[in-house]
A and B are shown apart, each in its own frame.
Chain A
Amino acid sequence: MSYWPLVPVLGLAVLVPVLLMGIQRLLSHRNPSIEKLAPYECGVTGIGRARPRLPVKFYVTAVLFLLFDIETVFLFPWAVLFRKLGLFGLLEMGFFLGVLFLGLAYVWRKGALEWQ
């Protein structure tokens, strides 16, 4: 299998950001000031701590999202090679989705999808 087509892709991936950031460096204004660097809170100087301890509910929601998002990502290669993999692919992916579906059912029953 030839991997040479990846080289121009990598080259573009490096070249485009360098070009954009370079043009921005040349052409942009640079005018920092204290107020500009202050955090935005609708025009008022904010009070309170910047890093309070966040409730763990945020973490649970984020992790669940991540899990199911990765599951969705795995579906894409299967969609591309659907015909080639045939029945074998269906059974394997069916097993994979089944395991994750059991996980979803568990999470749903436990109430982790509710906010409170």
Chain B
Amino acid sequence: MTSFDLERARRLVGADLVAETPSLGDVVFVVGRSGVRRALRALRDDPELRFDMLMDLTGVDRLTLRDRFERFEVVYQLYSLWNGWRLRLRVPVPESDPRLDSVHDLWKAANWAERECWDMFGIRFDGHPNLKRILCHHEFVGHPLRKDYDRTRGQWCSRAETLEDELALAHEREQARARAAGLDPADAEIGERLLVNIGPSHPVAHGTLRVLVELEGETIKHAIPEIGYLHRGFEKCAEKGTWNNVVPYASRMNYVSALSNDVAYVKAVEKLCGIEVPDRCKFIRVIVNELARIMDHCVCNGANIVDLGALTNFWYLFTAREKLYTIVEKLTGIRLTTAYTRVGGLAHDLYDGFEDEVRAALREIVPYVQDVLKLIKRNRIFLERTVGVAPLSAADAIDYGWTGPVLRASGVPLDARKRDGYYFYDQFDFDVPVGENGDAHDRIMVRFEEIFESIRIIEQALDKLPGGPVNTSNNKFVLPPKRELHRDIEPLMNHFMLVMFGTPVPAGETYDSFEVPNGELGFYLVSDGGGRPYRVRVRPPCFYAYQAYPQLIEGSMVADMAAALGGLNVVAGELDR
């Protein structure tokens, strides 16, 4: 991956470039807030740099950090899709006047991200159409991710929000569009439409998603999603323990593929620490990530197809998942929410017989998946319900910040495993399935193809699995073996420092990403040099995926909601954190 023309980027940002703070190979610009909108637009539109994807937008409260410009900072992670370049923009925001210009019209992905930044930090975004809370409930007072908000101070919510204000905004937009087209807005008879709340407790809502739909007959005129019904405070809880204590919280984000989250998190921390893990560890992490990918796609497709009404496939795919559960339970001690990785390596090595059991399980899984494909591939009902349903063009998908199978279904062949080639992925022989139309059918089929590709990767990784240690040799990061504690003083000291004060992560910040089954799971970490994380920001793939949901279903029928939602694989643990 070649690096880009820094001079050109500097010229585009121009006079607003306050400083540059490159870190660990990342290019980081500190930009003055008055010019940030112009700079972002220039970087996006530049024909050579083409930073067309806003990967993440978040805030940091640098209250107790020594090196800082202002108390708050809004951090933009830009990504150039076609070139593979990344650029980070830090924009200092003073405490006395926490405002910034909104960029929701530059990237649709910024809409919800700015709402979250307001919710968590209290930073206002001028020009945002609907700046209200998104994760905390509407009766919440305060901004929880600020350093002066007490983590344990809970606030009750007396009733659910009616969402009438967002509905009114949607009506205004519709009437404005009608007037612009020369139609009389009263013809739409908005008052005669049926409002249905497909709420947080609904089988098709995959847990805790809420959509208020306005129906005219069977056609959806407006859909207003509400999230935050599983906001468990991951980012605040991450700040209370040590760096390794975050691993169980990370597992429970995308809980259907918990092993992937584990690997993604510790990979980012290791980048910040500057330590390398041994090759065996990397291969094992690849194997568990791909096993998690198979498990995730089984659940996602099983749930998606069962929402369409085909129950048998759910049982088949869940039985396939049960076979992998046995292996994961033997390996990590728990079936679902593993916490298998640690900073610097793994909790423990593979057990004897792991390779044979994995190969046998994969051989058993293949007929289950093939049976499901046989049932649905040419099934008239399945095709009618998914082909052409909820399409999203590649340009829109990039605008929304989509990554992973949903982006590939829309025709964009972006896979970080191929693009970045970390953890020996460049040595494995596998294909990346890419769809054509970006509809619900493609999203399901891409995931099925990815199951087979993952099986290929696992078999190759098992073939190439080297011996050796699984933990890094740097003793400051890894707990020493118990028998050494009773012999020498140095392992005892390392153990003590590690347990009492946490992993010695140096001060600094970094953004690292990993291709999890849902797409790009990124972690933006800020460390103050202590053993506890200062800020752990998760860039959740389904947050950006779900934001496009209204666009996917407005105009279609109610029955298409299930097909559209299932394909996005919105896992609330990751969506709401």
Contact = CB atoms under 8 A, between A and B. Distances in A.
| A and B in direct contact, judged by CB atoms within 8 A | yes
Interface of A: 41-49, 52-55, 57-58, 115
Interface stretch (B189-197, B255-263, B382-390, B493-501): B189-197
Task: Tell me whether chain A's interface is mostly helix, strand or loop, or mixed.
Answer: loop
Contact of A42 (B163, B194, B195, B201): B201
B480 interface: no
Interface in B146-168: 159-160, 162-164
Given A42-B201, A44-B210, A58 B217 contact: yes
> How big is the B interface, by class?
20 to 34
A41 B199 contact: yes
A49 B199 CA distance: 18
Contact of B160 (A45, A49, A52, A54): A45
A80 to B, nearest CB: 33
A48 B164 CA distance: 9
A44 B199 contact: yes
A6 B197 CA distance: 48
B202 to A, nearest CB: 5
Contacts of A43: 160, 199-201
A41 B196 contact: yes
Contacts of A46: 195, 197
B217 A57 contact: yes
B164 to A, nearest CB: 6
Given A41-B196, A45-B162, 13 more contacts: A42-B198, A42-B200, A42-B210, A43-B160, A44-B162, A48-B193, A49-B195, A52-B194, A53-B189, A53-B192, A57-B218, A58-B217, A115-B218
B230 interface: no
Given A44-B210, A47-B164, A115-B218, A52 B202 contact: no
7 contacts: A42-B197, A42-B205, A42-B210, A45-B160, A47-B195, A49-B191, A57-B218
Contacts of B163: 47
B216 interface: yes
Contacts of B210: 42, 44
Contacts of B196: 41
B199 A45 contact: no
A48 B557 CA distance: 19
Q: Counting chain A CB atoms within 10 Å of each CB, which of B189, B194, B216, B557 scores highest? A: B194
A48 B196 CA distance: 8
A74 B117 CA distance: 66
Contacts of A58: 217
A46 B189 CA distance: 20
Q: Closest 7 A-B residue pairs measured CB to CB?
A: A42-B199, A48-B195, A55-B217, A41-B197, A44-B160, A53-B192, A52-B192
Given A42-B198, A42-B199, A43-B199, A54 B193 contact: no
A115 to B, nearest CB: 7
Contacts of B205: 42
A43 B163 CA distance: 14
A115 B218 CA distance: 9
Nearest to A47: B162
Interface in B197-221: 197-202, 205, 210, 216-218
B160 A48 contact: no
A54 B219 CA distance: 12
Contact of B557 (A45, A55, A115): A115
Q: Counting chain B CB atoms within 10 Å of each CB, which of A42, A45, A47, A57 scores highest? A: A42
B198 A48 contact: no
Interface in B346-381: none
A116 to B, nearest CB: 9
A53 B43 CA distance: 50
A110 to B, nearest CB: 18
A42 B202 contact: yes
A47 B557 CA distance: 21
Nearest to B195: A48
A41 B189 CA distance: 24
A53 B163 CA distance: 22
Contacts of A49: 191, 194-195
Contact of B193 (A44, A45, A52): A52
A29 to B, nearest CB: 23
Contacts of B162: 44-45, 47
Nearest to A57: B217
A4 B572 CA distance: 64
A48 B159 CA distance: 17
A52 B195 CA distance: 9
Given A42-B210, A47-B164, A54 B217 contact: yes
Nearest to B189: A53
B560 to A, nearest CB: 12
Nearest to A54: B217
Nearest to A55: B217
Interface in B204-246: 205, 210, 216-218
